[in-house]
């Protein structure tokens, strides 16, 4: 995720995790409240946010991997099953 603007490699792991947690929390609210998404079967808010944090804090991860994590955890309003 080193290409994301929030990713600051000079931060400690704890500080980076805090930044990622705030961003993941905000993204979850946007998905659920703002965009009407629902969690996939068996997925909780805690799991969805935790998965985002894990992905966001991995410098080697990329935007496609972040999108994949979210696609696995959320059902978006126009998604076909």
What's residue 77's pLDDT?
Answer: 83
What's CA 75's distance to the chain center, in Å?
A: 14
Residue 58 half-sphere exposure toward CB, CA atoms < 13 A:
13
Domain ranges for the chain, please list them: 13-75
Extract the tokens encoding 50: 């935790």
Phi then psi dihedrals of residue 39, to 5 deg = -80, 145
* pTM for this model (two decimals): 0.91
pLDDT tens string 1-37: 888 888 888 999 999 999 999 999 999 999 999 999 9
Residues 39-57, mean pLDDT to the nearest whole number? 97
Extract the tokens encoding 32: 């659920």
């Amino acid at each position: 995720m080193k290409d994301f603007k929030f990713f600051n490699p000079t931060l400690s792991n704890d500080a980076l995790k805090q930044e990622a947690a705030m961003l993941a929390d905000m993204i979850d609210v946007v998905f659920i409240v703002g965009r009407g998404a629902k969690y996939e079967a068996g997925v909780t808010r805690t799991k969805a946010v935790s998965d985002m944090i894990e992905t966001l804090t991995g410098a080697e991860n990329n935007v496609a991997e972040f999108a994949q994590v979210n696609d696995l955890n959320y059902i978006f309003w126009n998604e076909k099953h």
